[in-house]
Amino acid sequence: PARLFSGMQPTADSLHLGNYLGALVNWVAMQDEYEATYCVVDLHALTVSPDPEALRQRTRVTAAQYLAAGIDPERSTLFVQSHAPEHAQLAWLLNCLTGFGEASRMTQFKDKTARFGADQQNVGLFAYPVLQAADILVHDADRVPVGEDQRQHLELTRDLAQRFNARYGETFVVPDVHIVAATAKVNDLQNPGAKMSKSASSPNGIIELLDDPKKTAKKIRSAVTDTGTEVRFDPAEKPGVSNLLTIHSALSGESIPSLEDRFAGKGYGHLKVEVADVVVAALSPVRERALELLADPAELDKLLTRGAERARERASVVLARAFDRVGLLPAP
Ligand code: ATP
Ligand code: MG
């Protein structure tokens, strides 16, 4: 089977409904078709200088939520990036192959420096897309399912793989850009014109997978809706209601036109109550399983150790190949 690689940063105390519907649900489904590797990219998270204790906890929480959502550690490789040092080692080779101007043109970096000033940013953030390229290439991944916002970084990954292969001979698999039309793009409940985001959303705008069901229901009941009363899918005119319809449909499988029909003449209140029920029913088992896993961190760590061993078996071979190609002496 083709090889697939994907990861998320441990940058929040819990993943949210957007991460679940936009990424995790797909990851779980793709395990059947691909030899999949799923990574908690903790080295990437260091670019925002997290508190050490928070980073430790978030790394475990993220891994527990992958598992709770249905990532099967027997079928797929699940591990923490820093446990496979080959990622950072390959990143150095790729740094030496990346142009300064090329890295400067990455929009994620440009956006952050434009918003907060270049002096507030570190070299890690600048080199972030290169580490991401190393993550992918060190696993010989053919496919990388990501959202549209990652397209530019994936193009860089392909460019670096091709450049390396042209200069040093066939070494890396050049991965496909596989932009997943996200199952659903979930927006902020309080600011439905913007996406639900770990870093940008307010606490009430975001449904965390670890929120208790009462809190989840309350956040949905207090979601910002739109003027008027008609339940209709119209993201431009009715972003709030449309977001609730999207969430319902993605979790329940009922089509949006069918929801519009059923809620015709009923008003927003009814819709919110039902969306809250649907979300709580879908997320409760995920939450409970994640809490169980987190209650036994030693067991969770054991699982991650096994994942890291598997990841390193593959990564060490690719890294040795690359080291040799560039002229590094064989390690003693
Ligand atoms: P940050 O604010 O730190 O960028 P984030 O909430 O955007 O965090 P990421 O870690 O960047 O989350 O993304 C993890 C995965 O979740 C990616 O595959 C991304 O496409 C997906 N994702 C993130 N937010 C949403 C959303 N609101 N709707 C659908 N998918 C999302
Ligand atoms: Mg993001």
Residues 157 and 181: beta-carbon distance below 8 Å: no
Known binding site for ATP: residues?
9-11, 18-19, 147-149, 186, 195-199
For the stretch 45-79, pLDDT in tens is 999 999 999 999 999 999 999 999 999 999 999 99
Beta strands in the chain (DSSP E): 3-8, 35-40, 77-80, 143-146, 176-179
pTM given for the model = 0.94
Confidence of residue 184 (pLDDT cuts 50, 70, 90): confident
Please name which of 315, 299, 294 lies closest in space to residue 81, comparing C-alpha atoms. Answer: 315
Distance CA 76, CA 72 (A): 6
**CA of 7 relative to ligand 1 center, distance in Å:** 11
Percentage of the chain beyond pLDDT 90 is 88
Q: Kindly give the number of the ligand 1 atom that is closest to the alpha carbon of 19.
A: 16
Ligand 1 proximity of 198 Cβ (cutoff 6 Å): yes
Q: Any bridge partners for residue 179, and if so which?
A: 146
Please work out, in degrees rounded to the nearest 5, the angle formed at the alpha carbon of residue 327 by the alpha carbons of 321 and 329.
Answer: 85
Which residues carry out catalysis?
Answer: 112, 195, 198
**CA of 43 relative to ligand 2 center, distance in Å:** 16
Confidence check on the interface: ipTM exceeds 0.90, yes or no: yes
Cα–Cα distances in angstroms (integers) from residue 55 to residues 42, 123, 132, 155, 241, in the given order: 8, 19, 19, 29, 35
Ligand 1 proximity of 39 Cβ (cutoff 6 Å): no
Confidence of residue 199 (pLDDT cuts 50, 70, 90): confident
Q: Which ligand is nearest to the CA of 195?
A: 1
Please name which of 261, 276, 102, 60 lies closest in space to residue 189, comparing C-alpha atoms. Answer: 276
Ligand 1 proximity of 232 Cβ (cutoff 6 Å): no
For the stretch 73-110, pLDDT in tens is 999 999 999 999 999 999 999 999 999 999 999 998 99
Ligand 1 proximity of 22 Cβ (cutoff 6 Å): yes
Known binding site: residues?
9-11, 18-19, 135, 147-149, 186, 195-199
